[in-house]
Amino acid sequence: MREYLLTLCVTAAVTYLLTGPVRKFAIVAGAMPEIRARDVHREPTPRLGGIAMFFGLCAGLLVADHLTNLSEVFEKSNEPRALLSGAALIWLIGVLDDKFEIDALIKLGGQMIAAGVMVMQGLTILWLPIPTVGNVALTQWQGTLLTVALVVITINAVNFVDGLDGLASGMVCIAAAAFFLYAYRIWYSYGVEAAAPATLFAAILMGMCIGFLPHNMHPARIFMGDSGSMLIGLVLAAGAISITGQVDPDALKLFTGSEKAAVHQTVPVYIPLLLPLTIIAVPTADLVLAIVRRTWKGQSPFAADRGHLHHRLLEIGHSHSRAVLIMYFWSALIAFGALAYSVNSASMWIVLGIVFLSAIGLALLLLPRFTPRAPRWAEAFVPPRYRRRRAAVGEQTDELEPVAAEMAEECAEPRTPVAVGVSGVNGATALGARRRR
């Protein structure tokens, strides 16, 4: 655990320290697009934050390669090198898009090529554990197509949700934390070495997001851009592919008694597509809804609009910070709920806890429409927005009464005559005579 924490801290430190210089570089390079109709920020903000995140990824892999235990991951597996190759390619495409606005189809092709590069180096899905069936081996073409599809879906899900300050980096950090705990449990509790690369990827991904988040919180000083959103989406997909397609349930049945029981142990992570998409369920739902909405209107699925979940939260009255926190809440509930269920799926308390927290989440969603009001005796201890309107109106009336009285007195007082010079009087008399004529 100490080596993973060291890798996480180094990745976070490098990302954090490089984000400031990258911001200045983005301003000089002109990577500050004009505000569009679908944007929620009011001032032009530089992008290219993915540059700092990519160098944080490189620093994390470099440090892990020189540590005693984590260096075995590089010796026994080619997955870290496959991740670095695919990440470098997708990062380069993202940098070009942040500066020159690449066409959506070109970006989609680049995402598929980056996924293919990782597949060629061994980071691919070899089999699928299916409940009540067992371990199902995949052919080379099936594994390749499934791997490319998972990478493309995850990248675009993270890219679509990157619409508010700190939203994408925070949600991916939450997902990576839950994924790290799951992979670490498989690695050290069951002794399955094939889970070690996924654990390392999750630790590095957390470091990338934690290091960038202080610069990206509202009001953001820099955006990660497509160079960052596609990068962290690819890293998250790489960990999902590694833990899904590389960990054989045959290795788990030694601890659970049978292969079917071993498959059952990993079921919560493969919902809904037998893959760990539950960890990014909120961005995936946003992606699916966006595609359906745009296709229904006759638009391209890649056409930008203001119909995302975070946009709807702003429209119903939530503030920027509250909308981000609500998205954090739902992401954490789904990710850690799946994690808790995978640890002990027979506990009814876990299900009841998830239901209770879901009710709290629904109440938070409806908070702008049903603003609670504190009782009169507690109004002094709560913010003004939770006080009764009558009291607030009465206070304003009491404050305005002295001002109104003074204005009434001034209007009632007779005006004092103003002394004028003789020339002024003669001039006024002559003017009055002219008017009478």
According to the model, what pLDDT value does residue 352 have?
85
Pull the structure tokens for residue 85. Answer: 């190759």
**What residues pair up with 130 in beta bridges, in sequence order?**
134
Among all chains, which residue has been given the structure tokens 């909120």?
Answer: 282
Averages of pLDDT over runs of 10 residues in the chain (437 residues) are: 92 96 91 62 79 96 91 89 94 92 89 94 80 72 90 86 82 88 79 82 94 88 91 91 68 51 49 48 71 74 62 68 81 81 71 82 67 66 59 44 50 48 44 44
**Can you give the pLDDT at residue 298?**
74
Residues 6+ apart with CB under 8 A from 421: none
Model pTM score: 0.73
Within a 13 Å sphere around the CA of 290, how many CA atoms are in the beta-carbon half? 26
Structure tokens at 183: 């992979």
Whether the Cβ atoms of residue 367 and residue 357 lie closer than 8 Å to each other: no
Structure tokens at 63: 């440090």
Question: Which of 301, 281, 284, 283 has its CA nearest to residue 292?
Answer: 301
Q: Is 127 helix (H, G, I), strand (E, B) or coil?
A: strand
Closest CA to 168 of 286, 19, 292, 317: 286
How far is residue 411 CA from its own chain's centroid? Answer: 60
Q: Which of 322, 325, 328, 288 is nearest to 308 (CA)?
A: 288
Beta bridge partners of 135: 129
Residue from 264, 259, 269 nearest 182 by CA: 269
Q: How far apart are CA 420 and CA 425, in angstroms?
A: 7
Which structure tokens are listed for 100? 């020159």
Which residue in 122, 115, 152 sits closest to 140, CA to CA?
122
Gap between the Cα atoms of 421 and 424, Å rounded: 5
